[in-house]
Chain A
Amino acid sequence: MSDITPSQTVGPFFAYGLAPKGRCEWDPNGNYSWKETIGDNLITPDAIGTKIHIEGRVLDGDGMPINDAMIEIWQADSQGRYAHARGEKPRPNAKFTGFGRSATDKNGIYSFDTIKPGAVPGPDGKPQASHIVVCIFSRGMLRQIYTRLYFSDDKANDADPILALVPADRRGTLIAHKQPGNGPVLYRFDIRVQGDNETVFFDI
């Protein structure tokens, strides 16, 4: 019998502690007094690869924006390496952590600036398509839910071993759509927590 500590909701009031910068409408500077340690910009001076901006809305079962959600992302670098193991060989982009956090604003919008991840090994040594693991916390969620973000312009999606486990008619909910234009590379990824076109969440 495990002695595991159970999950409880992040509640509505986490922002000043977990995500104090940027999106609160609290003081004229948009910041709570507590300093930020994990933010929504993952791009470090030494980061290598294509800079991308990811933005989307988090919606509830009525299609209403969830304005008190916290989105965390975990990803590999552009070479498909996770900044995980301590004592591993130093990487040239050692400052890139691959981890970010964004609280939604009053319109339920979150966003990240990051680097497009490279392909990483999957089960049986087959490569996985470029993807980002996404974890969602919110008031009204007693435990976090996990999903994945894939990229609409990546042909490797067709052979991805995890996408293959998702019913074909629901795979589209995991695709971030590249937006047209010549400016910065922008992907749109909405998260529908419940209902029609509900985002696929994973039991991991």
Chain B
Amino acid sequence: MSLIYPKESVGVFPNHLSPEYRSTVKRSPSKPLVIVPHTLSELTGPAFGHDAIQENDNDLTKQHKGEPLGERIIVHGQVLDEDKRPISETLVEIWQANACGRYVHIVDQHPAPLDPNFTGAGRAITDKNGYYKFITVKPGAYPWGNHRNAWRPNHIHFSVFGQSFLTRLVTQMYFPGDYLFPFDPIFNSVTDEKTRARMVSTFDLENTIPDWALCFRWNIVLRGREATPLDTDEH
């Protein structure tokens, strides 16, 4: 059986052209997208086994000789479809700035220090309940060139696969109560307030580890609904 993937669901995604985020102006298609049916090519997608990851790939604080500086945090949650069914055995990749707001990437040259004990990349495979967990440090805010005095809110980049090439999602997880939200054109490219709120993690006191790390919970909901029996497609 395959899932069905209603197109209405992605209607809440940002517009390709969102001029407040300047880089979209020359990088968004200007001609209408061509509507095509979902064929086997779209309804299938890469599968990942636990051999895609190694021990501690999900612990960004253990990739170097020493521990990174910053607030140690746990980020965890479930990957689900639109019917709230867990997506098991799917690859979740993250990358982020260090606690000072600096990326290890060569192009990031803003004057904040690199941390020799922090790369800022991690990956995990969801378990049978769609559950993932990362241990990292809270990323800092950082300036960017979009407009005068532009700063990105604290965020962690997420890349998730799901059950077909259509469910592929690259997004960003934000932290609750960030004072930079009103000023960020990337965050606000999602124009619906309730939808936008789904990119913001929840402070998770219950799973905070005393004397060790704060915890944030964030569920990721991918395209796809359970097919009705009539739509069932055995292959």
Most chain A beta carbons < 10 A, residue from B21, B34, B47: B34
Question: Are the C-beta atoms of B106 and A76 separated by less than 8 Å?
Answer: no
* Residues of chain A contacted by B12 (CB below 8 angstroms): 2, 4, 6
B64-93 contacts to A, CB under 8 A, are: 82, 84, 89, 91, 93
A88 to chain B, nearest CB (A): 9
A175 interface residue per 8 A CB criterion: no
B199-235 contacts to A, CB under 8 A, are: 199, 219-223, 235
Chain B residues within 8 Å of chain A by Cβ, number:
81
Question: Are the C-beta atoms of B170 and A8 separated by less than 8 Å?
Answer: yes
Question: Are the C-beta atoms of A17 and B106 separated by less than 8 Å?
Answer: no
B23 interface residue per 8 A CB criterion: yes
In the complex, what residue of chain A is closest to B32 when comparing beta carbons? A203
Question: Are the C-beta atoms of A16 and B119 separated by less than 8 Å?
Answer: yes
Interface size range of chain A in the complex: 35 or more
* Residues of chain B contacted by A9 (CB below 8 angstroms): 21, 23, 170, 172, 186
In the complex, what residue of chain B is closest to A24 when comparing beta carbons? B106
Question: Are the C-beta atoms of A98 and B46 separated by less than 8 Å?
Answer: yes
**What string of 1s and 0s marks CB contacts (under 8 Å) between A126-141 and chain B?**
0010010101011111
* Residues of chain B contacted by A140 (CB below 8 angstroms): 21, 23-28
A137 to chain B, nearest CB (A): 6
Question: Which of B13, B15, B34, B44 is the one whose CB lies under 8 Å from A74?
Answer: B44
Question: Are the C-beta atoms of B199 and A6 separated by less than 8 Å?
Answer: yes
Question: Which of A2, A11, A84, A165 is the one whose CB lies under 8 Å from B47?
Answer: A84
Question: Are the C-beta atoms of A18 and B27 separated by less than 8 Å?
Answer: no
Question: Are the C-beta atoms of A198 and B41 separated by less than 8 Å?
Answer: no
B84-136 contacts to A, CB under 8 A, are: 84, 89, 91, 93-95, 97, 103-108, 119-123
What CA separation (Å) do A3 and B222 show in the bound complex? 9
* Residues of chain A contacted by B23 (CB below 8 angstroms): 9, 139-140
B74 to chain A, nearest CB (A): 19
Question: Which of A120, A137, A165 is the one whose CB lies under 8 Å from B40?
Answer: A120
* Residues of chain B contacted by A82 (CB below 8 angstroms): 40-41, 44
Q: A60-B27, A84-B44, A201-B33 are in contact. Are A14 and B95 (CB under 8 A)?
A: yes
Question: Are the C-beta atoms of A33 and B119 separated by less than 8 Å?
Answer: yes
What CA separation (Å) do A90 and B16 show in the bound complex? 40
What CA separation (Å) do A123 and B41 show in the bound complex? 11
A182 interface residue per 8 A CB criterion: no
A203 to chain B, nearest CB (A): 4
* Residues of chain A contacted by B143 (CB below 8 angstroms): none
Question: Are the C-beta atoms of B186 and A202 separated by less than 8 Å?
Answer: no
B31 interface residue per 8 A CB criterion: yes
In the complex, what residue of chain B is closest to A194 when comparing beta carbons? B30
Question: Are the C-beta atoms of A17 and B46 separated by less than 8 Å?
Answer: no
Contacts from B to A (Cβ < 8 Å) = 6-10, 12-16, 18, 21, 23-31, 33-42, 44-47, 52-54, 63, 82, 84, 89, 91, 93-95, 97, 103-108, 119-123, 157, 159, 165-166, 168-172, 186-187, 189-190, 195-196, 198-199, 219-223, 235
Query: What are 29 sample pairs from A and B whose C-beta atoms fall under 8 A apart?
Result: A5-B198, A5-B221, A6-B13, A9-B172, A13-B107, A15-B105, A16-B105, A18-B93, A20-B121, A26-B105, A32-B119, A37-B52, A37-B91, A66-B27, A74-B44, A83-B46, A83-B47, A84-B46, A99-B45, A120-B41, A142-B13, A142-B24, A143-B16, A148-B41, A193-B28, A194-B26, A200-B34, A201-B29, A204-B166
Contacts from A to B (Cβ < 8 Å) = 2-18, 20, 24-26, 32-35, 37, 60-62, 64, 66, 68, 72, 74, 76, 82-86, 97-99, 120-123, 128, 131, 133, 135, 137-145, 148, 162, 165-167, 170, 193-195, 198, 200-204
Known A139-B23, A141-B28, A142-B15; 14 more pairs at CB < 8 Å: A3-B84, A4-B222, A8-B172, A11-B172, A13-B97, A14-B95, A17-B94, A17-B95, A17-B120, A142-B14, A143-B16, A170-B31, A200-B34, A203-B33
